[in-house]
Amino acid sequence: MRHQKVLVLDFGGQYNQLIARRVRDLNVYCDLMPCDMAAEEVEAYAPIGIIFTGGPNSVYDAASPRVDPALFKLGIPVLGICYGCQLIAHMLGGAVEHAAASEYGRRTFTFSADCELSFGLPKSSVCWMSHTDHVTRVPEGFSVLASTPSCPVTVFGSDEKKIYGVQFHPEVVHSECGNALLKNFLYRVCGAKGDWTMKNYVAEQVGRIREKVGDKKVLCAMSGGVDSAVAATLIHRAVGNNLTCVFVDHGLHRKNEPEEVMAVFRDGLGMNLVKADAQELFLGKLAGVAEPEQKRKIIGAEFIKVFEREAKKIGAVDFLVQGTIYPDVIESGKGKSAVIKSHHNVGGLPSVVDFKEIIEPLRDLFKDEVRRLGTELGLPDAIVWRQPCPGPALAIRIMGEVTRQKLETLREADWIFREEVAKAGLEKQIWQYFAVITDCKTVGVQGDFRTYENVIALRAVTSVDAMTADWARIPFDVLERVSSRITNEVPHANRIVYDITSKPPATIEWE
Catalytic residue from among 169, 236, 250, 344: 169
The CA distance from 152 to 430, in Å, is 40
Based on CB atoms, which residue is closest to ligand XMP, 191 or 388? Answer: 388
- CB-based contact 392:295 (threshold 8 Å): yes
Based on CB atoms, which residue is closest to ligand XMP, 167 or 228? Answer: 228
Minimum distance between the CB of residue 251 and ligand XMP, rounded to whole angstroms?
A: 17
Binding ligand XMP (rule: CB under 6 A), the pick from 134, 169, 253, 344 is 344
Minimum distance between the CB of residue 384 and ligand XMP, rounded to whole angstroms?
A: 17
Query: Within 10 Å of residue 296's Cβ, how many Cβ atoms?
Result: 18
Minimum distance between the CB of residue 329 and ligand XMP, rounded to whole angstroms?
A: 17
392 binds ligand XMP per the rule CB under 6 A:
yes
Q: What would the DSSP string read from start to end of 148-191? A: ETTEEEEEEEETTTTEEEESS-TTSTTSTTHHHHHHIIIIIIS-
345 binds ligand XMP per the rule CB under 6 A:
yes
Helix (H, G, I), strand (E, B) or coil at 117: helix
241 binds ligand XMP per the rule CB under 6 A:
no
Query: Within 10 Å of residue 496's Cβ, how many Cβ atoms?
Result: 21
Catalytic residue from among 82, 85, 127, 151: 82
Minimum distance between the CB of residue 300 and ligand XMP, rounded to whole angstroms?
A: 8
Encoded one letter per residue, x for contact with ligand XMP by CB under 6 A and - for no contact, window 463-482 reads ---x----------------
- CB-based contact 63:112 (threshold 8 Å): no
Based on CB atoms, which residue is closest to ligand XMP, 155 or 278? Answer: 278
Sequence-distant (≥ 6) Cβ neighbours of residue 352 within 8 angstroms? 304, 307, 308, 311
186 binds ligand XMP per the rule CB under 6 A:
no
Candidates 203-211, 309-317, 448-456, 501-509; binding stretch for ligand XMP (CB under 6 A)? 501-509
Based on CB atoms, which residue is closest to ligand XMP, 6 or 469? Answer: 469
| H-state helical runs in 145-254 | 178-183, 198-213, 226-239
Helix (H, G, I), strand (E, B) or coil at 325: coil
Sequence-distant (≥ 6) Cβ neighbours of residue 430 within 8 angstroms? 421, 460, 461, 462, 472, 474
Minimum distance between the CB of residue 510 and ligand XMP, rounded to whole angstroms?
A: 8
Binding ligand XMP (rule: CB under 6 A), the pick from 73, 199, 343, 428 is 343
Q: What phi and psi values does residue 97 have, to the nearest 5 degrees?
A: -135, 160
73 binds ligand XMP per the rule CB under 6 A:
no
Helix (H, G, I), strand (E, B) or coil at 139: coil
Candidates 190-198, 389-397, 475-483, 494-502; binding stretch for ligand XMP (CB under 6 A)? 389-397
Helix (H, G, I), strand (E, B) or coil at 70: helix
391 binds ligand XMP per the rule CB under 6 A:
yes
Q: What phi and psi values does residue 337 have, to the nearest 5 degrees?
A: -80, 155
388 binds ligand XMP per the rule CB under 6 A:
yes
Minimum distance between the CB of residue 393 and ligand XMP, rounded to whole angstroms?
A: 9
Minimum distance between the CB of residue 340 and ligand XMP, rounded to whole angstroms?
A: 13
| H-state helical runs in 251-291 | 257-261, 279-286
From 195, 252, 226, 259, select the one nearest 392 (Cα to Cα): 252
Binding ligand XMP (rule: CB under 6 A), the pick from 14, 108, 429, 507 is 507
Minimum distance between the CB of residue 245 and ligand XMP, rounded to whole angstroms?
A: 18
Catalytic residue from among 103, 116, 171, 257: 171
Give the total of residues touching ligand XMP (CB under 6 A).
13
Encoded one letter per residue, x for contact with ligand XMP by CB under 6 A and - for no contact, window 399-438 reads ---------------------------------x------
Candidates 56-64, 90-98, 121-129, 342-350; binding stretch for ligand XMP (CB under 6 A)? 342-350
Helix (H, G, I), strand (E, B) or coil at 370: helix
- CB-based contact 327:364 (threshold 8 Å): no
- CB-based contact 493:413 (threshold 8 Å): yes
Candidates 131-139, 196-204, 245-253, 383-391; binding stretch for ligand XMP (CB under 6 A)? 383-391
Based on CB atoms, which residue is closest to ligand XMP, 237 or 503? Answer: 503
Q: Is 82 one of the annotated active-site residues of the chain?
A: yes
Would you tell me the crossing angle of helices 279-286 and 292-314 to the nearest 10 degrees? 150
The CA distance from 419 to 424, in Å, is 9
Candidates 32-40, 163-171, 390-398, 410-418; binding stretch for ligand XMP (CB under 6 A)? 390-398
Amino acid 161 reads K
503 binds ligand XMP per the rule CB under 6 A:
yes
- CB-based contact 198:49 (threshold 8 Å): no
499 binds ligand XMP per the rule CB under 6 A:
no
Based on CB atoms, which residue is closest to ligand XMP, 329 or 436? Answer: 436
- CB-based contact 165:186 (threshold 8 Å): no
CA dihedral in degrees (419, 425, 428, 434; nearest 10)?
-30
Minimum distance between the CB of residue 115 and ligand XMP, rounded to whole angstroms?
A: 43
301 binds ligand XMP per the rule CB under 6 A:
no
Q: Is 492 one of the annotated active-site residues of the chain?
A: no
Sequence-distant (≥ 6) Cβ neighbours of residue 54 within 8 angstroms? 11, 13, 14, 15, 16, 81, 82, 83, 84, 130, 169
List the beta bridge partners of residue 437.
Answer: 398, 456
Structure letter (DSSP) for residue 356: S
Based on CB atoms, which residue is closest to ligand XMP, 299 or 482? Answer: 299
- List contacts with ligand XMP (CB under 6 A): 343-345, 388, 390-392, 432, 466, 503, 507-509
Catalytic residue IDs = 82, 169, 171
